[in-house]
Amino acid sequence: MPTEALAQALRALAESLRFYQAMGVTDLPLGRDYLPGPEDALHRQEETLQGCPRCKLSQGRTTIVFGMGNPRAELICIGEAPGADEDAQGKPFVGRAGQLLTKMLESVGLDRDRDCYIANIIKCRPPGNRNPEPDEIAACEPFLLAQLAAIRPKVILALGGFAAQTLLRTKEPIGKLRGRVHSFHAMVLIPTFHPAFLLRNPGPEYRRLAWEDLKLAKREYDRLRSQ
């Protein structure tokens, strides 16, 4: 196994172990599949996460919104948190914002189901769609990192200021973060506006900026895939 591939596999194993530790699992059977493929890894993570009581959002959710898409995608879209539609259906970005996200991805030749995986910073809907609180973010962080370790995408498209700020651990506004390539572990991260923000601000200026971000993400996606 090449050195980089081995290093990635070990990082994925470490993140998976941190995930199970966060869920209170103390014993794991070690067999031939201790380094499962992304499909199996995500399936196991989602199963383990059911009934999660790690933060107060568990008391008001309808369902856990784990994520969906291609487990072997080389681009992952990460939003802030599930909304009402997502909480009802158990899938991320299924409302109007989700429909716009699908069109945004298609505008640069990316198929949502084939080319992308979609997740959120936190997995349960905050009441009234408020911003997630620090303890809620901390409770969900192992789960998102485990997803990233399983999928190992090349590009992260951070949807909205909250997602970008949380991932990059900064307070800079989205207006200053977008339009640039950022590093996140072994991946590149491209911040852009959340589709819900674009729906609330339908003028051409924000759409143009979002289009530029999407083209930047696609260029990085194509560049890294060709290496």
**Whole-angstrom distance, CA of residue 206 vs CA of residue 192:** 10
Q: Give 195-216 as a DSSP string.
A: HHHHHHS-SHHHHHHHHHHHHH
pLDDT in tens, the chain (227 residues): 456 555 665 666 666 566 555 545 555 455 545 567 899 999 999 999 999 999 999 999 999 999 999 999 999 999 999 999 999 999 999 999 999 999 999 999 999 999 999 999 999 999 999 999 999 999 999 999 999 999 999 999 999 999 999 999 999 999 999 999 999 988 999 999 999 999 999 999 999 999 999 999 999 999 999 98
Please give the domain boundaries of the chain with CATH numbers for all domains: 3-225 (3.40.470.10)
* DSSP conformational letter for 158: E
**Whole-angstrom distance, CA of residue 104 vs CA of residue 198:** 11
Structure tokens at 195: 């589709």
* DSSP conformational letter for 56: G
The pTM score is 0.86
